Amino acid sequence: MKKSPWNLTLAFLFLLPAACLEKEKGVSLGSSVMEKKITMTSSQVDGLKVDVYLISDEAVEGELLAKAMNASGQEIGRAKQTLALAKDDAKLISFSFDSKVDLDKVTKFLIDFRRK
């Protein structure tokens, strides 16, 4: 049985808008991270997993929080990792959010240090 190229074209036209509806969720560094002269050169969001590559100018230690934020700027989820970087050091850090976080409500992720 030969398939018509029109079937593929129609399927593509119906699936393309659905694929475009999913907005990319950005990742940014909070002020407490930037104050410690840490920069982020790349980030990747895959569902409830966020990876960031961080580079430090000076030695720094502490607990990082990745906060899932909604459209109103409210925190709706949190994941944490311990960070220990030497002077002029770099590291890929991965945060895994709880499956109960409603990914549809997340508009961005914010990386910050836990307050002491």
Q: What is the pLDDT of residues 8-20, one digit of tens each?
A: 454 444 544 444 4
Tell which wins on pLDDT, 80 or 5. Answer: 80
41 part of a folded domain: yes
pLDDT per position as a tens digit, 71-100: 999 999 999 999 999 999 999 999 999 999
Residue 35 falls inside a structural domain: yes
Q: Are 91 and 83 in contact (CB under 8 A)?
A: yes
Number of domains in the chain: 1
Banded pLDDT at 22 (limits 50, 70, 90): low
CATH of the domain at 96: 2.60.40
**Domain annotation covers residue 13:** no
- pTM of this structure: 0.77
Q: 52 is in which domain, residue-wise?
A: 24-113
Torsion of CA 74, 80, 85, 91, to 10 degrees: -90
> Could you tell me the pLDDT band of residue 115, with boundaries at 50, 70 and 90?
confident
Residues in the chain, overall count: 116
Radius of gyration of the CA atoms of the chain, in A? 19
